Amino acid sequence: MSDCIFCKIVAGKIPSEKVYEDESLLAFMDIGPVQPGHVLLIPKKHYERFTELPEDLAAALGRKLPALSRAVVAAAKADGFNLFQTNGACSGQVVPHVHIHIIPRHEGDGYSFRWVAGKYAPGELQTWRAKIAAALKA
Ligand code: AMP
Ligand code: ZN
């Protein structure tokens, strides 16, 4: 994708502060951090949404997350961290190239990912379970 900012980072056409690289993955510092130490992990190949990833690439991303998250937490002396991932503009995705946010968190840092928990009507939970289980088999 010639106009994708993360593809340009992978190609070295725009600068980035890289923290990890292998044949299929790249991790670099987010320039607009939610908290200092915020890192992005991406596949080098362009895919817009997580749902488009081949399983082996999704597995490679997942395999790297524990060590990368440990490094972010250690460097930031964080109390915890968030893994965050957006798919589609409605979810907050601004850069249409798969990326996983690794965000160090400290007690009292004031940042909030809280949402208002909804409630199912009687039977609705089971209907959703069946719908999703059926979609998984399709
Ligand atoms: P999202 O809203 O999930 O699409 O997140 C996109 C992220 O990419 C934001 O956190 C931006 O700060 C970050 N970002 C955008 N451009 C760059 C860049 N050139 N280098 C590093 N991070 C970037
Ligand atoms: Zn791209």
Determine whether 97 is an active site residue: no
Residues with CB under 6 A from ligand 1: 5, 14, 16, 30-32, 40, 86, 92-95
Pairing of β 39-43 and β 100-105: antiparallel
Atom of ligand 1 nearest to the CA of 30: 22
Tens digit of pLDDT for each residue in 49-79?
Answer: 999 999 999 999 999 999 999 999 999 999 9
Residue 54 alpha carbon to ligand 2 centre in Å = 15
Rounded to whole angstroms, the Cα distance separating 26 from 36 reads: 19
- Whether residue 106 is predicted with pLDDT greater than 90 in this model: the reply is yes
Query: Which tokens hold the place of 102?
Result: 């690794």
pLDDT at 113: 75
User: So what's the pLDDT on residue 112?
Assistant: 81
Residue to probe by mutation, ligand 1, list 95, 101, 113, most atoms within 8 Å of CB: 95
Q: Which of 46, 97, 99, 106 is catalytic?
A: 99
CATH numbers and ranges of domains, the chain = 5-137 (3.30.428.10)
**pLDDT over threshold 90, residue 81:** yes
